[in-house]
Structure 1
Amino acid sequence: MKQLAKFLGPVATAVISGGLLALCYPDYNLTGFVWVWMLPLLPMLWRGNKKRYGFSVGYLTGLVFWLINLKWIWTVSGLGAMAIAAFLALYFGIWGAIAVSIGNPWRRTVKKEPDQSDQQLSSIQKKIKDRQQVKKHGLLGGALGDSGMSLKFALINAAAWVALEWMRGWLFTGFGWNGLGVTFHNTPVLAQAADLVGVTGLSFLPVFMSAVIVQTASRLKSEAATGKLKPRLDFSIAALLLALQFCYGVWRIKQVNGWETDRVRVLLVQGNIPQTVKWDPRSVNDILQTYADTTQQAIEALESDNLKLLQANVDGESVELKRPDLVVWPESALPTPLYFADNFDGYILFGETRHLINEEIRPLGNFTLISGMNEFESDFDGERATYKEGGEQYNSIATVAPEGELEHSINTYRKIHLVIFGEYIPLVDQLPVLAELFKFSAGADFSGNFDAGTSTEPLVVPVRDSQVQLIPTVCFEDTVGRLTRQFVRNQPQMIINVTNDGWFKKSEAAAQHMANAKFRSIELRRPMIRAANTGVSGIISSTGSAVDPVNGNRQVIEDESGSHFVKSSLYGYAYAPTRGP
């Protein structure tokens, strides 16, 4: 019976802790659990003494967490979801091995008999012995006693966690999704320190505080039995760190919202087209017309509002009309590709897409159209472009200027950070069976590997009498902080993201994507405009909020029930700092 309890205890603890952590993220958003999920886990780890034990408990905790947190991947591939969860749980396992060894304040050591001679030492001898303790345990352990040792082990556990999260963000192309810091996406005051330490650095404090609380509770229990309670300096320091993070957030939000900015008027269009339709070549014209019609209806509604504004302006004062500077369509909104060729200086666009842009979209107003598109290298004979066998192909963002010949009015950004097994499959040419596995999982043929772009130059778009730079991101690139930082310039800038989360249907994937993306705006102090085909389309401020800092309006496409899975549009404002911070 004891053996069964010895086995079930760690298993139950891992399941509970992993489940509590999963509840911190969308769609649950029970953020408060980030401060408590480790409280049962740490004592269970610290009671052990072997790294194998720590790894096993940590790994099971991570496996439970990732299976719940990434269950949306099951909509594409159940096998893929299990494989990814099994891999990502390794980071939890490694942390568990660290926590049970060098991060373990309760680790079993050889006990020594108490030194009775301490009471007979002179004051000078005691000072000498204290200095020896500092050398042995470090400043924290020697000079601050039990509290110092508590802080030392809390620091080890928290630093190890942050280091492993950082490694997860770049190893094997990286998957920095849903670190502990992301749980603060709906708690703006605690999220602002991301501009100092990044979203990964925000993961430090929850682990640090949990380690301090567990050690403090253990010592209080022992001291209560003897009736000798001592001051808890370690707990006070942990609480002070939390207070400092809170105060910094309050101050930073007020400061950032007071910056001088260029206001950019944005119209976002969300088609909400099912993935099954997007893969059907017979639906090309219907998809194009959906975006054209939704855009036209939105602009007609804005012009109706403008007319009411003018009619109500009996005093003849200046009135700002609602007319977008940018109209943004999501990733793959235009299902026909852009062609480029060595013998042509520009982009080649044929058929319905060319007609739609020139005849239906451009006449609607003086705005820049931005859309996700594929770029294909082609053979061009002066009249006709055909796909070049073995040529380059890119997943791109295209900007279309409001005037000029279409072929020479387009500028593009080519996606740099490709999604493995989504946009490219390693060794697929050598192992064709991988393409068959893709078809089995995704329900569509593998169209070939995309090439990775190389340019980190921002896109430049006109905004009335000036210009604004765009930091471009496609799909999950807005979750990759090390990539977006490469585009930062000391100019008015915004981040733009076009995405299609329709692969994962009406799951929490889109909400989790939005939660992770918010931290790019905080880290870089640039607003973000997001256009999703199926997902969360909206405007994020430089403080990571979806609320307009000037008029207080919520700037997210959603229906009355709060669902993001709708065909709709949003007119709103992004505020680009006039000088990059």
Structure 2
Amino acid sequence: MKHFLLALASGLLLALGWPTYGFPVLLFVAFIPLLYVVYQIKEHPTLKYKGWRVFGLSYLAFFIWNYITTNWLQYADIFGACFAILVNSLLMALLIVFYQAVAKRTTINKSLCFLITLWICFEKLHLGWEFSWPWLNLGNAFSEHPKWIQWYEFTGAFGGTLWVWLVNVILFKALLAYFKFSDTNILKRAAIQTTALICIPIAISIVRYYTYTPESNTIEAVVLQPNIDPYTEKYNATNEQVADLLQGLAQESITQKTNLLVTPETVLAENYGVDLPSFNRSPEFFKAKTFVYNYPNLNYLLGLQFYEKHTSKADIRPTSNQYNDHLWVDYFNSAALINSNTAPLIYHKSKLVVGVENFPYQSVLKPLIGDAMLNLGGTVAMKSTQEERSAFTLKNTNYKVAPVICYESVYGEYVTGYVRNGANVLAIMTNDAWWGNTQGHKQHLSYARIRAIETRRAIARSANTGISAFISPKGELLQTLAYNAQGSLKANIPVNTNMTFYVTAGDYIARISMFLALGLFFITFFRRARQ
């Protein structure tokens, strides 16, 4: 029962430390009860099935964390929610089982170092593999406290993960030493160490927060929030009707000086979308083109779904959807930049939502389950992508905007690709209406604040039903438009040209962790024991 309660405590502490409702300081002690359970099971001389006990208790802790923080997925699809919560809890529990296996064979310092680096490797895996789900990466937990994490411009969100684990490990080791020697000085030293480890980075960050100044040049931007219900309205309205709504909302805020107008993702998605090869001749393009001619500086960043038909096998892609022996279709979740000067510039979303926009590991899973895909709302057709991040040049300026589409904004190093390609401003285009008025859309907005700090780029965020916002390069929410409201926002936002260390170096903490974890693993299991 004691072990059960300790595992329960870890799960609750992790959940209660999560944004947007939680207090992240709790994360600095959240893993200690679970680590103590693992230690007691490992040291017990007669206990059977130790590995299974560790797995079961770890799974309990992580299931509680995953369920409380991401149960909002059920409002889109119950099967998708179950899959995400159950499988992610399983993967996290396996990390603790691997840690226990190492802890039995080496010193406490080496085993805890292995655990830290293994956890960071797991988070990096979640950023890259086809079952990607980085929502609960620990560095995300501080998104509601940008004054604490201005140093993310050097480390990225992995700096926050490392921060959380270092404090937990120091306190855990002190607790073990105190139980062994009953010396209160051990706890006092640990309290001083952890207070310094928590407070010094925060103090440095606060100084950076109040001394950092973005570059002086600005652009005038407008973001739209049409508030179209994706379940009952989006796929029943024509593109012309939606375009009229968007232009009406824009005219509430737009001026002759406006440089950038941003819509949500796939806001034009009538039937199968817009035919990509003939977009330049489509009614959707001409309607947008006619609109921008009235504003000399305007760049219209429009979210829409494209499709492209193929009748020859030579033209198909791995992501093409087959309808019969002679027809394949590619679908794209795309952004098009339209102004009065140039042909439209197009970017295709490339970080896709698992099960909704991509079929992970098709070569393995498709023979087993056929064409089944998780339906989290909207189309379940496979989406096609592009390799490089696009940064669109704004008319009458030397500046570029990054069309960051929805789920892409959760990926730190991925977003830096836009900046390395010249983006001076980030435009996030999203539709968070699938989950209703839950923590889902609130957390998604909150994580965008981390991307602003990592890249030192202002963000213009257009969300279909909310929360649309402008975010400063310091992660401040400058303006917001409430969830389930219709309207527009206008702001002058800075355009930065300098690149942060994180933009240049990327997820170097994760790469270093991979080498350390592998080294510790091989040393533990393959080094010949000393005589």
TM-score, scaled relative to structure 1 = 0.73
Please report how far the alpha carbon of residue 212 of structure 1 lies from its aligned counterpart in structure 2 after TM superposition: 2.1
1:290 alignment counterpart: 245
- Partner amino acid, structure 1, of 2:23: L
Which has the higher relative contact order, 1 or 2, with Cα contacts under 8 A spaced 6 or more apart?
2
Q: Counterparts in 2 of 1:224-235, with a 5 A limit?
A: 224=182, 229=185, 233-235=189-191
Pick closer, same or farther for the CA change 1:243–1:483 going to 2, 3 Å.
same
Counterpart of 2:488?
Answer: 569
Which residue pairs with 2:223 in the alignment?
268
Shift of 1:21: 1.4
Cα 1:350/1:556, change in 2 over 3 Å: same
- Amino acid in the other structure paired with 1:295: A
Residue identity in the other structure for 1:339: D
Q: Is the 8 A contact 2:481 2:489 kept in 1?
A: yes
> For 2:157, what is the secondary structure of its paired residue?
helix
Correspondence for 1:32: 25
Q: Secondary structure of 1:298's partner? A: coil
| Structure 2 counterpart of 1:127 | none
Question: Structure 2 matches for 1:185-200, cutoff 5 A?
Answer: 185-200=143-158
Q: Cα distance, 1:155 vs. partner?
A: 4.1
Match of 2:95 in 1: 95
Question: 2:466 touches 2:481 (CA, 8 Å); kept in 1?
Answer: no
Match of 1:371 among 302, 308, 328: 302
Quote the offset at 1:377 in angstroms: 2.6
1:396 to 322, 325, 334: 334
Give the C-alpha shift of residue 12 in structure 1. Answer: 3.1
Q: What amino acid does structure 2 have at the position aligned with 1:243?
A: C
Does 2:59 match 1:59? yes
1:213 is matched with which residue?
Answer: 171
The SS at the match of 2:228 is: coil
Number of aligned residue pairs: 475
Q: Deviations over 1:260-282 (max 9, x none)?
A: 24212111110111112344334
| Cα RMSD for the two superposed structures | 3.2
The residue that corresponds to 2:282 in the other structure is: 350
Aligned to 1:339: 275
Distance 1:68 1:182, change over 3 A: same
CA separation of 1:340/1:287 partners in 2, compared to 1, >3 Å: closer, same or farther? closer
Shift of 1:514: 1.5
1:423-481 deviation line (CA, Å, top 9, x unaligned):
1335499679765665xx456664x322111233421113x5x3212233211011112
Shift of 1:42: 2.5
- The answer to whether the 8 A contact 2:280-2:344 is kept is no
SS at match of 2:53: helix
Structure 2 unmatched runs, 5+: 43-49, 311-322, 501-531
Q: Structure 1 pair 233/160, CA: closer, same or farther in 2 (3 Å)?
A: farther
Contact 1:51 1:98 in 2 (8 A): no
Match of 1:384 in 2: none
- Whole-angstrom distance in 1 between the partners of 2:420 and 2:438: 36
Shift of 1:218: 4.4
How many angstroms does 1:63 deviate by?
A: 1.5
How far apart are the structure 2 equivalents of 1:555 and 1:543? 14
**Rounded Cα–Cα distance in structure 1 between residues aligned with 2:10 and 2:287:** 53
1:120-176 C-alpha deviation (Å, 9 max, x unpaired):
xxxxxxxxxxxxxxxx97xxxxxxxxxxx7x76654443333232222222335221
Counting aligned pairs with the same residue, the percent is: 19
Residue 262 of structure 2 is matched in structure 1 by 328
The superposition leaves residues 203-227 of structure 1 with CA deviations (integer Å, 9 ceiling, x where unpaired) of: 1222221232233244445555xx7
Task: Sort the Cα spacing of 1:27 and 1:488 in 2 relative to 1 into closer, same or farther, 3 A.
Answer: closer
Q: Secondary structure at the match of 2:196?
A: helix
Instruction: Give the 3 Å change call, closer, same or farther, for CA 297–434 of structure 1 in structure 2.
Output: farther
Q: Corresponding residue for 1:421?
A: 355
Residue 203 of structure 2 corresponds to: 247
- Whether contact under 8 Å (1:270, 1:531) holds in the other structure is yes
Kept in 2, the 8 Å contact 1:326–1:369? The answer is yes
Aligned partners of 1:443, 1:232: CA distance in 2, in Å? 53
Alignment of 1:8-19 (within 5 A): 9-19=2-12
Rg comparison, structure with higher value: 1
Aligned to 1:309: none
Name the aligned partner's letter for residue 479 of structure 2.
Answer: Q
- The answer to whether the 8 Å contact 2:177/2:186 transfers is no
Contact 1:262 1:575 in 2 (8 A): yes
1:85 aligned residue: 85
Cα distance, 1:378–1:157 mapped onto 2, change above 3 Å = closer
Shift of 1:360: 4.5
Say if 1:435 and 1:445, in contact at 8 Å, map to a contact too.
no
Q: Per-residue displacement from partner, 1:349-384 (whole Å, max 9, x unpaired)? A: 433x345424455425631111111222369xxxxx
Q: Distance in 1 between matches of 2:343 and 2:184?
A: 78
1:522 to 428, 453, 466: 453
Q: Deviations over 1:391-446 (max 9, x none)?
A: 43321111111x24xxx5311111122222111335499679765665xx456664
What SS class does the counterpart of residue 453 from structure 1 fall into? coil
1:350 and 1:228 mapped to 2: Cα distance?
75
Letter in 1 for 2:486: K
Match of 1:459 in 2: 392
- Is contact 1:189–1:248 with CA below 8 Å preserved after alignment? no
**Residues 488-507 of structure 1, C-alpha deviation per residue, up to 9 Å, x if partnerless?**
33856112211111121222
Kindly indicate whether residue 142 of structure 2 is the aligned counterpart of residue 184 of structure 1. Answer: yes
Q: Indicate how the Cα distance of structure 1 residues 26 and 278 shifts in structure 2: closer, same or farther if over 3 A, else same.
A: farther
Given that residues 356 and 377 in structure 2 are in contact (C-alpha distance below 8 angstroms), is that contact kept between their aligned partners in structure 1?
no
Quickly say closer, same or farther: Cα 1:63–1:575, change in 2 above 3 A. same
> 2:503 corresponds to which residue?
none
Q: State whether residues 146 and 449 of structure 2, in contact with CA within 8 Å, keep that contact through their aligned partners in structure 1.
A: no
Given the superposition, is the C-alpha separation of residues 281 and 434 from structure 1 closer, same or farther in structure 2, using an over 3 Å criterion?
Answer: farther
In 1: Cα distance, 2:33 partner to 2:208 partner: 34
1:10 to 1:171, Cα distance in 2 relative to 1, 3 A: farther
Which amino acid is the alignment partner of residue 428 of structure 2?
N
How far apart, CA to CA, are the structure 2 residues paired with 1:350 and 1:27?
A: 42
Offset of 1:13 from its aligned partner?
2.8
Q: Name the structure 2 match of 1:501.
A: 432
Identify if the C-alpha distance between structure 1 residues 556 and 181 changes in structure 2 by more than 3 Å, giving closer, same or farther: same
Change (3 A) 1:228 1:74: closer
Per the alignment, in what secondary structure is the counterpart of residue 169 of structure 1?
helix
Instruction: Summarize the alignment of residues 109-124 of structure 1 with structure 2, pairs less than 5 Å apart.
Output: none
CA deviations 1:312-366 (Å, max 9, x no partner) are: xxxxxxxxxx84211111101223544343xx7xx33433x34542445542563
Which residue in 1 is equivalent to 2:37?
Answer: 44
- Quickly say closer, same or farther: Cα 1:412–1:437, change in 2 above 3 A: closer
Counterpart CA distance in 2 for 1:415 and 1:230 is 52
- TM-score by length of structure 2 reads 0.80
The separation in 2 between residues aligned to 1:238 and 1:433, in whole angstroms, is 50
CA distance in 2, matches of 1:77, 1:375: 25
Q: Is the 8 A contact 2:391 2:421 kept in 1?
A: no
The aligned residue for residue 204 of structure 1 is: 162
Conserved in 2, the CA contact under 8 Å of 1:39 and 1:214?
yes
Distance 2:453 2:260 in 1: 22
* Cα distance in structure 2, aligned partners of 1:443 and 1:217: 48
Q: Deviations over 1:246-270 (max 9, x none)?
A: 2331233244x32424212111110
